[in-house]
Amino acid sequence: MPMNNDLRPPCASGRYYRVKEGETLISIAAKVGVAREELEELNPEVNWLNLQIGQLLCLPGERPCPSGIYWEVEAGDTLYLIAREIGTTVEEIMKLNPEIQPENLQIGQLLCLP
């Protein structure tokens, strides 16, 4: 399902992390290799004592999404199916998301779209 700015304004990096059951600020910071303080600074609206499963957290990085348009990966999605749905190519999606593993898309993962 495509996501846009109406759901949450993109963070400067265009990189997000989706909270999973049982996670805390400290466990997420360790998992993504970011200082706890940096996560807090990038997500000032987050109540760290009441994280919600599925909540999106902004991560640091240098990969902005020029279009500001995102696709949230759902069960069964492949890059080919996503590209066909939005009228682009797998190659274009890969250019905008060089860090993804095309054969291992994760449910809830956000992809920058052209």
Cα distance between residue 94 and residue 69, in whole Å:
15
Each residue's pLDDT tens digit, 3-58: 433 344 567 777 788 899 999 999 888 877 778 898 999 999 999 999 999 999 99
| Closest by CA position to 26, among listed 8, 44, 49, 42 | 49
Bridge-partner residues for 1, per DSSP? none
- Dihedral of CA atoms 9, 24, 36, 61 in degrees, nearest 10, equals -40
Each residue's pLDDT tens digit, 81-104: 999 999 999 999 998 887 788 888
Cα distance between residue 42 and residue 109, in whole Å:
19
Query: How many angstroms from the chain centroid is the CA of residue 94?
Result: 15
Task: Please tell me the least confidently modeled range out of 60-64, 66-70, 84-88.
Answer: 60-64
Question: Which helix (H) or strand (E) covers residue 92, if one does?
Answer: helix 90-96
Bridge-partner residues for 71, per DSSP? 2, 111
Q: What six digits make up the tokens of 28?
A: 């997420």
